[in-house]
Structure formats: structure tokens, C-alpha cells
């Protein structure tokens, strides 16, 4: 017994589009899906050319380096797009995605570029086996948005890589196939409309591939059908014989595998109201004996166009990144006069341009209290009666403000840090400190005069050196006088009616 594929494919132009730019192929060894783009007629031509180039892989016997075969066929399809644009300049700008699986027993080669998707359903769990080459996917990878937010992001249709006739490297990976696996390739007309939870439930609950594919198309149409929707479904089974008749459809084939919704369902009623489909455009067939020199100029033009597109894409990404940083990050710094301000953006400069602006002032309230409080007002609404100055802070927080160390936080976090960590130095200032009370001097020692008449009269002795006790000497301490005070004069208390800020200064 050997592992073989049992496959089916379905495609529908959706409820909005007048033509279907998706092309697909399903055969004993090859599953492939291409989602064309580039305007009316152009996208379907690009997807047809790529599927035509990939279809030759299904004629070969299983074996060899699967990834090398996929890479060569993909490059051939990309070159066919470039040649077609040279022949028909009005198609300039067309392109297509590609997701393809080359099957050889227990080995699977996967080729991917663009935002079409490949999924594997194994042991009741659905796994996406491709990564979207889109701008929003880079945001998801960086943790800046969630996968759910990516579905509604305004730039979700911005594709970073596709087959357009210019040099591009597809993503090539190897996987292991097991009996019972179910593989699905789909265009974004399905994955953008139907959640992964619903996809997993459908793939796991409907065993028949044809019924399962029809159900997936119906779910996309019930979700509005805003785009062409295509599904290529294959089960890995352990049997002697599998399916052998290839299925070619969408823009690349006839109407035999076009999904027809049940007119009794909501999807069927909506589909009945759409306009008739437009006649698909076919690519121009080029003769093989055309000199190669005829196409040299087109490659130069595509290289230049590719460089320009790359630069533009980088600038677009840079603009979004910088805008996101400016809008979401805040930091604390002192202005030229030393007043503490809250800034929105980043303290770093880009091409000598400032990427921040002050948004809030920090005001000091309750200066006549033990612990002054901070309030925040808009930078443009006026000035504080007592603005917080960096000189008002104790050493550590003052250095943090001067060195712009409080940064990359939300507005609420910044206000919390200012309130909790920027300690006002009035409480520690020497001028407002109360001197510690001077301990009372020790009581003088009392001695009882001798009554012995034979005792000699006291005699005068030289004063001992200060601090050096003399042998046989009796230490005596003079009693304190009424007007004696401490040796050091303490700092005066804060004057009544004088603010803590004025006292510090």
C-alpha cells in the first residue's frame, strides 16, 4: 500500500467581481493555486501563465528533488509573465500569487509566494503551513497587531512579494505527509472572510472532499463574497490507487469545476443577482523560435521597475512605522528653561528632523503641604502657576529627566511614572529641615565633703589637657546655664505663607 492523493477543487468569482482571476490545478502529484492581480483581464492572464508552467510537474514520475522542480517551474511561469508583458504592454503591472504542493509518497514539497494560503488538517487540528507575504503579516510578526486585527487592517491587501515578471525568490519548504492528512489551498477570498475556527470545524466534520469544498465556498459567499474564492482540497490516503484525472479550473480552465450554489440557500439567492461573468482573456502564445535578444530590454525595464517598487514599498513601510511610533510613544524631558514636559513621539531624530512634540506640562500643586502633588495640562492650553522644574527634583529623578531615560511608554504610564518616581526635593532640602533636639547635658556628679579633720586641704592643680583623663582626678561637669544653646544654629523653619518651591530656591 502507498500514500496517494484524493483531491477536488472548486472556484467562484464571488458576489462582487465580474471575472475570476484565480487559476488552479489539482492532479495526482500537484496541487497549485494562483490568485491573479493587476486590474481587469491582467490578473487572470498572469495566473493562467503560472499554472500552465506548474502543470508540467504532474507529468513526471515521483522522485528527485521536489524543491528544485518547484523552483524551476515557478521561475518559468515568472518569465512567461515578463514575456507576455513585452508582447502586450497594456498588461504591464499584472502579477499573481502562487501556493503549490508537489507530492511524492510521504514527502511534500511546498512552494509559496503572496497571500494565498496553505493549510494542513491533522489529528483534529488545523495548521497554516504558509506565511502571508503581506505588510500586515510583518506587523503581526512584530507583535504590533494581532491576527484578528490583521483581518480589518486598512493595509491588509498590500502584498510585499508576488510573481510579476521580475526576479523574486519563492519560499520553498519540505514536509512529511501522513495517511489521514487533509491539505487545503485557498485564495484570500476564503481566508479573509471565514475564520480559522470555522475552517477547522468544516474540514474536520465533512469527510467527503467534494461536499467539504462546496461548503467552504458557500461560507465565503454567505460572508459577502467580496473577492474570487477558490479551494483546492486533497486527502492523503493509504491505498493502491488514487485519483488520476487532473482538474484545471478558474481562469486557467473550463467551467466544469465552477461552484454552483444551491438556489434555496442565502448564498444561492445572492449569487443569482450578480451580473453574468465576463469572458476570460487568454494569454498570447509566443513561438519558441523567437530570438532571445528580442526580450533583453524587457528584463532591464522590469529590473528598474522592481527596484523602484522596492524603494516605494520601503518608504511606505517606513512612513507607517514612524507614524505608529509618533502616535503611540511618550517620553519625559526638560525644555530649554528646565521645565519638565511630556512629549509625544521619539527623542531621536530622523534625517535631522524632530520626531516628537510637547503635549503636556507638569504643574506642581499644594506647595504649602508636606507632599506637593502633580497635575497635567495640555501644552497648548497655557502655563502652570508653578511648573515642575528639573531643579526641583532629587538627584536620581533629575538625571533621568535630563538624560531622557523615561521613554517608550503610553500616556497613562508616563503620568504614573511622573507621579510616583519624580520625587520633589523640598522634603529633603536643608532649608526646610528641622534640627534634631540637643540632648540634655548629664547631671553633675555629687560628692560628699569629707568630715575627717586630718584630711588635707585641697590644692590647686594644673588644668589637664582637654579630653585626656588624669589619674586620680575627679571629673566634674558644670551645670547648664539657663541661656545656653546648641553648638550649631539650626536652619530656620519655613516661613508661614512661603511656598515649598520658593523655600527651595
Residue 406 to residue 341: CA distance in whole angstroms: 11
What pLDDT does 198 receive?
97
Q: What are the strands, taking DSSP E only, across 291-387? A: 330-334, 340-350, 353-365, 373-378
pLDDT at 425: 78
Number of H helices, E strands in the chain: 12, 16
When mean pLDDT is compared across 22-26, 42-46, 151-155, 275-279, the lowest value belongs to 275-279
User: Could you tell me if 35 and 242 are in contact, meaning their C-beta atoms sit under 8 angstroms apart?
Assistant: no
Q: Please, which pLDDT band fits residue 442 given cuts at 50, 70 and 90?
A: low
Q: Which domains does the chain have, with CATH numbers?
A: 2-275 (3.60.40.10), 330-430 (no CATH)
- Calpha distance 53→69 (Å, rounded): 11
At 235, which helix (H) or strand (E)?
Answer: strand 229-239
Residue 174: pLDDT above 80? Answer: yes
Q: Which residue has the higher pLDDT, 353 or 342?
A: 342
Partner residues linked to 155 by β-bridges: none
Q: Look at residue 479 and tell me whether its pLDDT is greater than 70.
A: no
What is the band of 491 on the pLDDT scale with cuts at 50, 70, 90?
very low
Question: What b/e string do you get for 321-338 counting C-beta neighbours within 10 Å, with b at 16 or more?
Answer: eeeebeeebbbbbbeeee
How far is the C-alpha of 330 from the C-alpha of 315, rounded, in Å? 24
By CB neighbour count within 10 A (0-12 exposed, 13-18 middle, 19+ buried), where does 443 fall?
exposed
Q: What is the pLDDT of residue 60?
A: 66
The residue among 111, 109, 112, 108 whose CA lies nearest residue 134 is 112
Quick: pLDDT tens for 207-236: 999 999 999 999 999 999 999 999 999 999
Question: At 141, phi and psi to the nearest 5?
Answer: -60, -35
User: Closest Cα partner for 102 from 149, 150, 172, 203?
Assistant: 172
Rounded Cα–Cα distance for residues 320 and 134 (Å):
14
Q: How many CB atoms lie within 10 A of CB 387?
A: 19
Residue 127 has a pLDDT of: 98
Quick one: which H or E segment has residue 208? none
**Alpha-carbon distance 259 to 257, whole Å?**
6
Handedness of CA 298, 304, 308, 311 (dihedral sign): positive
Q: What's the 3-state SS for 383-447?
A: CCCCECEHHHECHHHHHHHHCCCCCCECHHHHHHHHHHHCCEHHHHCHHHCCCCCCCCCCCCCCC
DSSP letters along 280-311, please?
A: PPPPPPPPTTS-GGGGHHHHHHHHHHHHHHHH
How far is residue 184's CA from residue 260's CA, in Å, rounded to a whole number?
A: 20
Res 52 pLDDT > 90:
yes
Structure confidence at residue 36 (pLDDT)? 94
Query: In whole angstroms, what is the distance from residue 102 CA to residue 463 CA?
Result: 111
How many Å apart are CA 48 and CA 32, to the nearest integer?
Answer: 11
Higher-confidence position of 184 and 349:
184
CA-closest candidate to residue 25, choices 36, 12, 34? 34
Between CA 46 and CA 162 the distance in angstroms is: 11
For CA atoms 356, 359, 361, 362, give the dihedral sign. Answer: negative
pLDDT-derived band of residue 352, with 50, 70 and 90 as boundaries?
low
Cβ proximity of 78 and 163 under 8 Å: yes
**Residue of 135, 130, 165, 133 lying closest to 150 (CA atoms):** 135
Angle between helices 66-87 and 296-328 (to 10 degrees): 100
pLDDT band, residue 380 (cuts 50/70/90): confident
**Which has the minimum average pLDDT: 181-190, 285-294, 388-397?**
285-294
Task: Give the phi and the psi of residue 3 in degrees, each rounded to 5.
Answer: -85, 130
CA neighbor of 97 nearest in space, from 13, 22, 147: 22
How far apart are the C-alpha atoms of 107 and 408, rounded to whole Å? 47
pLDDT at 56: 94
The cell for 50 is 503560472
State mean pLDDT over 199-211: 97
* Helix, strand, coil fractions of the chain, as percent rounded to 5: 30, 25, 45
Q: Hey, which residues does 76 pair with through a beta bridge? A: none
Rounded mean pLDDT, 107-132: 97
Sign of CA dihedral 187, 192, 193, 199: positive
Over residues 136-162, the pLDDT tens digits come to 999 999 999 998 898 888 888 899 999
Mean per-residue pLDDT over the chain, rounded: 79
CA atoms of 117 and 229, how far apart (whole Å): 12
Amino acid at each position: 500500500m502507498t500514500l496517494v492523493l484524493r483531491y477536488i477543487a472548486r472556484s467562484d468569482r464571488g458576489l462582487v467581481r465580474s471575472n475570476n482571476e484565480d487559476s488552479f490545478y489539482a492532479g495526482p502529484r500537484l496541487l497549485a493555486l494562483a490568485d491573479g492581480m493587476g486590474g481587469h483581464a491582467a490578473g487572470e492572464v498572469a495566473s493562467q501563465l503560472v499554472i500552465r508552467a506548474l502543470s508540467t510537474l504532474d507529468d513526471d514520475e515521483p522522485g528527485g528533488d521536489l524543491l528544485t522542480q518547484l523552483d524551476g517551474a515557478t521561475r518559468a511561469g515568472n518569465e512567461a509573465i515578463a514575456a507576455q508583458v513585452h508582447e502586450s504592454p497594456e498588461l504591464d503591472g499584472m502579477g499573481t500569487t502562487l501556493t503549490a504542493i508537489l507530492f511524492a509518497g510521504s514527502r511534500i514539497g511546498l512552494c509559496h509566494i503572496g497571500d494565498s494560503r496553505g493549510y494542513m488538517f491533522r489529528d483534529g487540528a488545523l495548521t497554516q503551513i504558509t506565511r502571508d507575504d503581506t505588510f500586515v503579516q510583518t506587523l503581526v510578526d512584530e507583535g504590533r497587531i494581532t491576527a484578528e486585527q490583521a483581518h480589518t487592517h486598512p493595509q491588509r491587501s498590500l502584498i510585499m512579494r508576488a510573481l510579476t515578471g521580475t526576479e523574486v525568490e519563492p519560499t520553498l519548504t519540505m514536509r512529511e505527509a501522513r495517511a489521514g492528512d487533509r491539505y487545503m489551498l485557498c485564495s484570500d477570498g476564503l481566508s479573509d472572510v471565514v475564520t480559522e475556527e470555522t475552517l477547522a470545524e468544516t474540514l474536520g466534520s465533512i469527510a467527503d472532499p467534494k461536499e467539504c469544498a462546496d461548503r467552504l465556498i458557500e461560507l465565503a459567499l454567505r460572508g459577502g463574497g467580496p473577492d474570487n474564492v477558490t479551494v483546492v482540497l486533497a486527502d492523503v490516503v493509504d491505498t493502491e490507487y488514487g485519483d488520476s484525472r487532473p482538474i484545471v479550473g478558474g481562469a486557467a480552465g473550463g467551467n466544469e469545476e465552477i461552484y454552483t450554489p444551491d438556489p434555496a440557500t442565502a448564498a444561492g439567492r445572492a449569487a443569482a443577482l450578480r451580473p453574468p461573468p465576463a469572458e476570460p482573456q487568454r494569454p498570447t502564445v509566443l513561438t519558441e523560435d523567437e530570438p532571445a535578444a528580442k526580450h533583453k530590454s524587457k528584463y532591464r525595464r522590469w529590473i528598474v521597475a522592481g527596484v523602484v517598487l522596492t524603494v516605494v514599498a520601503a518608504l511606505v513601510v517606513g512612513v507607517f512605522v514612524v507614524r505608529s511610533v509618533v502616535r503611540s510613544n511618550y517620553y519625559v524631558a526638560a525644555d530649554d528653561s528646565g521645565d519638565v514636559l511630556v512629549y509625544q513621539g521619539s527623542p531621536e531624530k530622523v534625517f535631522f528632523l524632530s520626531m516628537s512634540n510637547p503635549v503636556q506640562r507638569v504643574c506642581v500643586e499644594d506647595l504649602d503641604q508636606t507632599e506637593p502633588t502633580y497635575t497635567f495640562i495640555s501644552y497648548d492650553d497655557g502655563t502652570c502657576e508653578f511648573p515642575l522644574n528639573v531643579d526641583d527634583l532629587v538627584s536620581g529623578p533629575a538625571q533621568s529627566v535630563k538624560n531622557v531615560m523615561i521613554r517608550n511608554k503610553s500616556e497613562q504610564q508616563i503620568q504614573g511614572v511622573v507621579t510616583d518616581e519624580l520625587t520633589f526635593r523640598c522634603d529633603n532640602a536643608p532649608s526646610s529641615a528641622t534640627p534634631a533636639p540637643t540632648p540634655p547635658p548629664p547631671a553633675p556628679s555629687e560628692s560628699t565633703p569629707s568630715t575627717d579633720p586630718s584630711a588635707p586641704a585641697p590644692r590647686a592643680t594644673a588644668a589637664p589637657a582637654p579630653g585626656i583623663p588624669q589619674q586620680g582626678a575627679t571629673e566634674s561637669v558644670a551645670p547648664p546655664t539657663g541661656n545656653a544653646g546648641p553648638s550649631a544654629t539650626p536652619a530656620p523653619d519655613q516661613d508661614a505663607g512661603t511656598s515649598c518651591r520658593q523655600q527651595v530656591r
